Amino acid sequence: MRNSTAKNSVAITTLLSALFFCSIIVLASLSSLADSGPNVNTFGSVGMWLSLGMVLFLYLLPLAFYMLGMHFLKFVMAAFCSIGLLIAASTLLLMPALFLFGLEDFSGNSASIIGVMISCLGLLITNIVWFVAAFKRPSATVQESV
C-alpha cells in the first residue's frame, strides 16, 4: 500500500511540476522578455512549441517508466528536478532585478512578468515537495504493519 501511495505522490507532483514549467515557458513568451533577443521564443512560434514538447517529453517519459516499475528512474527525475529548481530560483531572482534596475524594455508588460514569477515560485515549491514525496522514508508504524 505504501509503495502505491508513494508512486501516486511522485506522479502527481511530477505532473504539477511539468504544468508549472510549461506555464513559465508560455508566460515568458508572452512577456516583454520575448523581445529581448533574436533567439528567444515568442508566443505561438515553432520554438515555443518545441520547447513545450521537449519539456513534456523529459517529464513524462521517465515518469511513465517509473510508474511501470523502473524505480531507478526516480534518480533521473531527481536530476531533472534539481535542474528545474535551479532554473526556477534563478528566474525568480532575475525578474525583480529587471524591475529594480529600471530596464525600460522589461517594465512594459508587468502582468506576464509577475505571472512568470508566480509560476517560478510554484515550480520551486512543487519541486521541493517532489523531493520529499520521492525520498521520504516510510514511518516505523507502516513498516510494522506490513
User: Is 142 within the bounds of a domain?
Assistant: no
Residue 88 corresponds to which amino acid? A
Residue 7 corresponds to which amino acid? K
User: For residues 135 and 53, what is the distance between their CA atoms, to the nearest angstrom?
Assistant: 27
Residue with cell 521541493: 128
User: Is 145 within the bounds of a domain?
Assistant: no
User: Is 146 within the bounds of a domain?
Assistant: no
pLDDT given at position 103: 58
Is 75:2 a contact under the CB 8 Å cutoff? no
Structural domain including 80 reads: 4-135
User: Is 129 within the bounds of a domain?
Assistant: yes
Question: Which residues, 6 or more positions from 137, have their beta carbon under 8 angstroms from its beta carbon?
Answer: none
Of residues 17, 109, 91, 88, the one with CA closest to residue 59? 17
| Domains of the chain: total | 1
Residues 109-129 have pLDDT tens digits of: 677 778 888 999 999 999 999
pLDDT given at position 3: 72
DSSP per-residue codes, 96-109: HHHHHTT-GGGSS-
Which segments of the chain have a pLDDT < 70?
1-2, 32-42, 99, 102-109, 138-146
**Model pTM?**
0.81
User: Is 140 within the bounds of a domain?
Assistant: no
Question: Which residues, 6 or more positions from 110, have their beta carbon under 8 angstroms from its beta carbon?
Answer: 99
